Structure 1
Amino acid sequence: MDALDLARWQFGITTVYHFIFVPLTIGLTPLVAIMQTAWYRTGNERWLRLTKFFGKLMLINFAIGVATGIVQEFQFGMNWSEYSRFVGDVFGAPLAMEALAAFFVESTFLGLWIFGWDKLPKKIHLATIWLVAFATNLSAYFILAANSWMQHPVGAVYNPETGRAEMTDIVAVLTNSTLLSAFPHTISASLLTAGTFVAGIAGFWMVRTARAGKPEVARDVYRPAVVLGMIVMLVSGAGVAISGDSQAKLMFEQQPMKMASAEGLTESAPDGAEFSLLAFGDLTNDPESVTHVLAVPGLTSFLADGSFTSPLKGINELQEEYSATYGEGVDYVPNLAITYWSFRLMIGLGIGSAALALASLWFTRKGKIIDKPWFARLAIAAIFTPFLASSFGWIFTEMGRQPWVVAPNPTGVDGVWMLTATGVSSVVSAGTVLTSLVAFTLLYGVLAVLWWKLMKRYAMEGVSDSETDVSPDTNDSSDDRPMSFAY
């Protein structure tokens, strides 16, 4: 394997691994804020106990997410230095804004929230976690602005003298139509992940405490958390579906090759393209031999523009158009097996959250609790499905864009596009990339084990039996103790 292949593997591994933690951080932070708000408004101790419990899990996930995300920044300037040279003037702006305007705010107020339980008034302390939630989502917005620009470049021109893309309109970059579609989809998916996480863990403990002869704990502590998670799952699930439909239609306009690849549509469909639920054959090496089964007629066309009979261009026709526009001798077709299956796994794995939401809705109605072991198993199994769905969604988004690292804008930003093969560094050797690939993969493997052990350990401890309000509002102590870690 040459430096290009190894650099792609390294970036793919580190990105997918890092993104495992991102949706939970984005979604769980506002849920913890909601729990603390419920405690502040009602004074009910159960919400304080739940805040501390899920807040601890949020902090573990946040820490691992930050540690794994730092590597991303360095790869742009090292393995992908030619890419950074070409687009740094544009791509660097939203990333800098993410660090200065979002991550610093997020980190500062998260520290105040962790150490300020017994030092800050309740209202101020509550405000800190809401500011963390806001900054976390703002951080996601800026990062998605950078990624959306790679999918659909706007607000920039190509300078032939410097050979670089140069920003002309930061507002256009921050209001990119791709961004405005991707952001609600990502946030909805993150809330779905967090809602499933909360409902899954609380559902497991509801069954466990009920079977242990503590139905009052199951009903008073864990059932409210299940209901909260279920509501978030239902609302965010609808948001994922609506925003996903919007994204598909935008993708049809901006990246038609990605849309055709999602279906493995080799030949154009003048009367509407079906959506196959299952396919047999070699999509990558011999797409013509693939047999689609369990197909829904016209559904791909409907996803593209809202009509079951609208024509869609196939991969072969699009390859000819791309060759005529952007140059001969390049295979503009992404890996069909990956795009086809990642698109379906992204959608299909959402069933896990839906199953838990429907089961929770039915078995917790009218103040009921459930003590059936199968529900506990469903609750734990469902936790993993939105994580996997989000990962496959990003794999489809990034792999479907290939062979472009900056996809061309068909509506006209002339010259601002870049093939992945030309974005890799010309001086970093394959051996150097391989060494760092092995090192980071092993390091991330160790971090994965630590994350799993910590999350499992504290999740299996359950909600504490009691929590004391230590805020200055109720604490008459006038000592000058320094801030201390609250967990």
Structure 2
Amino acid sequence: MDVEILARIQFAFTIAFHYIYPPLSIGIGLIMVIMEGLYLKTGNKEYEVLTRFWLKIFAITFGIGVATGIIMEFEFGTNWAVYSKYVGDIFGSALAAEGLFAFGLESTFLGILIFGWNRVSPKVHFISTIGVFLGSMFSAVWIVVANSWQQTPAGYHIVGEGLNARAEVTDFWAMVFNPSSVDRIIHVWQGAFLAGAFLVLSVHAYYIRKGRYVELSKRAFKIALVVATVVSFTQLLSGHSSADGVAVNQPAKLAAMEGHYEKSAPADLYLLGWVDNKNQKVTGLGLPGGLSFLVHQDFQAPITGLNAFPEEDRPGQVNAVFQFYHIMISIGMFLIAITFYASFLWWRGKLFEKKWLMWIFSFSVILPQIANQAGWFAAEMGRQPWIVYGHLRTSQGFSQEVSANQIVFSLVMFTVVYSLLLILFLYSLNKKIKHGPYDEAVNPLEII
């Protein structure tokens, strides 16, 4: 395997592993804000118990998320030196803003959030909860802005030539609000809200199935269900808006997502399928002209296909892009269906009578995670062969002095360390769930 492929695999592995945790932190943060807000409004101690319980899980998730995220910044310099030089001015602005406005906000309030229950007033603690939640959201903003700039560069000019070329910011706000950033930020936020909400749904569905903390869990389940129902539907809307942007700004990526090859012809919308890149055909179940209708509201409107681009400018793994994209869509539709059905049962007063539904929710926690990962893989693989779309190729961005053996060694090392961190996370999470929401010193009967 050559250095470029190994460097891509290593970065894909590290970022995919890291991306398990920030969405959970953002989603749990939102749930905690709602729970603690209800506690302040109603004075019901059950909401305080729930907030304290989920704060413990938030702290575990946040800690491992920080630990796994730091390594990626070193990878930029070691494995992607040319790329780092090219985007240094752009990424420097975005990552500095993350450290100043996002991580600073989180770290300022995190200590109060964790240790301030009996040291500050309930209102100050609630403000701290909001501060940590907003900090996690702002952190996502600047990371997505940096990534979106790679997809749709704006607000810059190129200085120098060849290996000395680099992008310099000419308009900071044009760089921040590049053509894809707003749609992608909203979509990422919504994916994070779903990841956190479904973790809450999973844990409390488990408690309900086992007959533990049933009344407390019903309250938590309903809060998470409201979030999941609203966000699963609005994510469909933001995803459509994002796809419209891809059609305009990255037509080769859109063509790969649906396996569309003809230069300019109506494009089908597939529910599932398999792309034969060699013979340029898709075998599967699709709606004729469906993609044309979604983009142009006309089943006969032409869509730019992969054959409109030179072969060297097309995504190399068309079937992989197609599959990841459709996995994300399929899971998204399932989440809409299951949350709307559960909400309907709630309206009829029969939500917790369906044991099979609680069983499904117990194991559904993995689905938003898979969808989030699949969406990112589709977006990043669909951008290929460009590391900065239309300007710098991935084959030009990696470090020329790093050998394949060095990357293999570090990849093996990261795999071992990250596996240990995952085991630690799952062990700690399982321990907190088995212990339950109540502290050992608290008598549940006093709270009920």
- TM-score, normalized by length of structure 2? 0.93
* Contact 1:102 1:136 (8 Å CA) reproduced: yes
**Correspondence for 1:195:** 197
Higher relative contact order (CA 8 A, sep 6+): 1
* Shift in alpha-carbon separation, 1:51–1:145, aligned structure 2, 3 A: same
* Contact 2:202 2:364 (8 Å CA) reproduced: yes
Counterpart of 2:340 in 1: which secondary structure?
helix
The one-letter amino acid of 2:60's match is: I
* Structure 1 residue 359, shift from structure 2 partner: 4.3
- The equivalences for 1:304-453 within 5 A come to 304-319=295-310, 330-365=312-347, 370=352, 372-408=354-390, 417-453=391-427
The one-letter amino acid of 1:404's match is: W
- The equivalences for 1:107-126 within 5 A come to 107-126=107-126
* Structure 1 residue 64, shift from structure 2 partner: 1.2
* Shift in alpha-carbon separation, 1:67–1:273, aligned structure 2, 3 A: same
* Contact 1:90 1:165 (8 Å CA) reproduced: yes
* Shift in alpha-carbon separation, 1:111–1:302, aligned structure 2, 3 A: farther
* Structure 1 residue 250, shift from structure 2 partner: 0.4
**Correspondence for 1:135:** 135
CA distance in structure 2 between the aligned counterparts of 1:4 and 1:439, rounded to whole angstroms: 19
CA distance in structure 2 between the aligned counterparts of 1:432 and 1:130, rounded to whole angstroms: 43
CA distance in structure 2 between the aligned counterparts of 1:196 and 1:221, rounded to whole angstroms: 17
Counterpart of 2:352 in 1: which secondary structure?
coil
* Contact 2:269 2:287 (8 Å CA) reproduced: yes
Counterpart of 2:364 in 1: which secondary structure?
helix
**Correspondence for 2:208:** 206
Matched, 1:249 2:244: yes
Deviation digits for residues 419-455 of structure 1 (CA, Å, limit 9, x no counterpart): 0011001111211111111101111111111111111
CA distance in structure 1 between the aligned counterparts of 2:296 and 2:21, rounded to whole angstroms: 33
The root-mean-square deviation of aligned C-alpha atoms, in Å, is: 2.0
The one-letter amino acid of 1:358's match is: F
Is there any run of 5+ residues in structure 1 with no aligned partner, and where? 321-329, 409-416, 470-487
* Contact 2:315 2:381 (8 Å CA) reproduced: no
* Shift in alpha-carbon separation, 1:207–1:192, aligned structure 2, 3 A: same
Matched, 1:174 2:173: no
**Correspondence for 2:91:** 91
* Structure 1 residue 466, shift from structure 2 partner: 8.6
* Contact 2:197 2:224 (8 Å CA) reproduced: yes
Deviation digits for residues 193-230 of structure 1 (CA, Å, limit 9, x no counterpart): 22222122222212322xx7xxxx52x31112111111
* Structure 1 residue 365, shift from structure 2 partner: 3.4
CA distance in structure 2 between the aligned counterparts of 1:454 and 1:359, rounded to whole angstroms: 32
* Shift in alpha-carbon separation, 1:82–1:115, aligned structure 2, 3 A: same
- The equivalences for 1:165-314 within 5 A come to 165-209=167-211, 217-218=213-214, 220-270=215-265, 272-280=266-274, 282-283=276-277, 286-288=278-280, 290-314=281-305
The one-letter amino acid of 1:317's match is: A
CA distance in structure 2 between the aligned counterparts of 1:340 and 1:200, rounded to whole angstroms: 29
CA distance in structure 2 between the aligned counterparts of 1:467 and 1:282, rounded to whole angstroms: 62
- Residue of structure 1 aligned with 2:437, choices 434, 443, 463: 463
CA distance in structure 2 between the aligned counterparts of 1:125 and 1:105, rounded to whole angstroms: 14
* Contact 1:181 1:247 (8 Å CA) reproduced: yes
* Structure 1 residue 231, shift from structure 2 partner: 0.8
* Structure 1 residue 141, shift from structure 2 partner: 0.7
* Structure 1 residue 159, shift from structure 2 partner: 1.4
The one-letter amino acid of 1:449's match is: I
**Correspondence for 2:446:** none
* Structure 1 residue 126, shift from structure 2 partner: 0.9
Counterpart of 2:285 in 1: which secondary structure?
strand
- TM-score, normalized by length of structure 1? 0.86
Counterpart of 2:383 in 1: which secondary structure?
coil
What percentage of residue pairs aligned between the two structures are identical? 34
* Structure 1 residue 147, shift from structure 2 partner: 0.5
The one-letter amino acid of 2:34's match is: I
* Structure 1 residue 306, shift from structure 2 partner: 3.5
Counterpart of 1:235 in 2: which secondary structure?
helix
- Whose radius of gyration is greater, 1 or 2? 1
CA distance in structure 2 between the aligned counterparts of 1:95 and 1:43, rounded to whole angstroms: 40
Deviation digits for residues 276-326 of structure 1 (CA, Å, limit 9, x no counterpart): 22324644xx142x4433211212123333432210122122226xxxxxx
Comparing both structures, which one devotes a greater share of its residues to helix? 2
